[in-house]
Amino acid sequence: MVCPNSNPLVEKVCELYEQISRLENLSPSKDVNILFTDLVHTCMPPNPIDVSKLCQKIQQIRSHLIKLCGQAEGLLESHFSKILASYENPLQHLHIFPYFDNYIKLSLLEYNIFTKNTTNIPKKIAFIGSGPLPLTSLVLATKHLTTTYFHNYDIDVDANSMAAALVAADPDLSSRMTFHTADIMDVTCALKDYDVVFLAALVGMDKEDKVKVVDHLAKYMSPGATLMLRSAHGARAFLYPVLDPRDLRGFEVLSVYHPTDEVINSVIIARKLPVPCVQPLDGLGAYVLPSKCACAEIHAFNPLNKMNLVEEFALEE
């Protein structure tokens, strides 16, 4: 089954999709690992393809494939989280996770992008969609932000209990890591307490759902707080949903970074704007902070200078 005038990459993705969608289940196994490894290796090389321009049939395949990848990722993380929990100190054994090095590189990339665009060390970070193996929070907390408090949110209570078990034996991390079971769409006032909010790639499995989450965060995050998002670029968009800077209403997008190595996700960093209450006039926007905030005053704001967006592409390796 090939989309008219598709290219060899799309044909290969469709072939792999056919096999993956016929799997009985997506729990880790030799067959599952071989197919998903092949899919990642197919989509990883830099490729200028714009998946949004492919035919309807391929769009449907992509949409379902992203969901299958998300399920497989969740099952893989649960599988290894349970193994890790059997160790006396699980945090000494995180390297048994097959993609641990990817998280080391992704967390370093996100930390470097964060420090390039901000000056303060965050006191409190929310990680949304932390999962049963919250590697991003664990790597950031142990290697980069060793005084920061991490509030991990996951809709799945089992994911949180597995994740909490991993840090229980570690006095430092068990004091700095909190796990909240909630749909992030139900979390409101608490969001204003965080200096930084990370949104996992698999929260919001298509652009529409992800934009709903971003709009929700825009409503409740504090002005000036940082949002770190994961997206995808080129053929990697067959693996994860894509967010564009224009999707981030209520935020000033500071940078978009597209890696070309084995780090699959693109990283977007944005800053929460004051809440708009009137349409910008004559190119100058007048914004009033929400009445409930301490200083409900008008903040003059010139949207023209907010577009200092930087889109960076990793240098070809």
Ligand X SMILES: C[S@@+](CC[C@H](N)C(=O)[O-])C[C@H]1O[C@@H](n2cnc3c(N)ncnc32)[C@H](O)[C@@H]1O
Residues that bind ligand X (CB under 6 A): 73-74, 77, 128-129, 131, 133-136, 153-156, 159, 183-185, 200-203
Nearer to ligand X, 75 or 293 (CB): 75
User: Cβ 110 to ligand X, closest distance in Å?
Assistant: 10
Strand order in the sheet with 177-181: 177-181, 149-154, 124-128, 196-199, 226-231, 266-272, 251-258, 310-313
> Which of 51, 162 has the CB closer to ligand X?
162
Least distance in angstroms from the C-beta of 61 to ligand X: 22
* φ, ψ (nearest 5 deg) of residue 294: -65, -40
Q: Please, which residue, 203 or 225, has the CB nearer to ligand X?
A: 203
Closest to ligand X by CB, 67 or 306: 67
- Kindly tell me which of 149 and 287 has the beta carbon lying closer to ligand X: 149
CB of 97 to ligand X, least distance (A): 10
C-alpha to C-alpha distance for 139 and 143, rounded to whole angstroms = 6
Which residue lies nearer to ligand X by CB, 81 or 285? 81
CB of 194 to ligand X, least distance (A): 14
Instruction: State in angstroms the smallest separation of the CB of 68 from ligand X.
Output: 13
CB 48 to ligand X: min, Å: 26
Closer to ligand X by CB, 153 or 238: give it.
153
Q: How far is the CB of 78 from ligand X (least distance, A)?
A: 8
- Three-state SS annotation for the chain: CCCCCCCHHHHHHHHHHHHHHCCCCCCCCHHHHHHHHHHHHHHCCCCCCCHHHCCHHHHHHHHHHHHHHHHHHHHHHHHHHHHHHCCCCHHHCHHHCCCHHHHHHHHHHHHHHHHHHCCCCCCEEEEECCCCCCHHHHHHHHHHCCCCEEEEEECCHHHHHHHHHHHCCCHHHHHHEEEEECCHHHCCHHHHHCCEEEECCCCCCCHHHHHHHHHHHHHHCCCCCEEEEEECCHHHHHCCCCCCHHHCCCEEEEEEEECCCCCCCEEEEEEECCCECCCCECCEEEEECCCCCCCCCEEEECHHHHCCCEEEECCCC
Q: Which two tokens stand for residue 148?
A: 């920061």
d(CA 81, CA 316): 34
Shortest Cβ 26–ligand X spacing (Å): 12
- 47/137 with CB nearer ligand X: 137
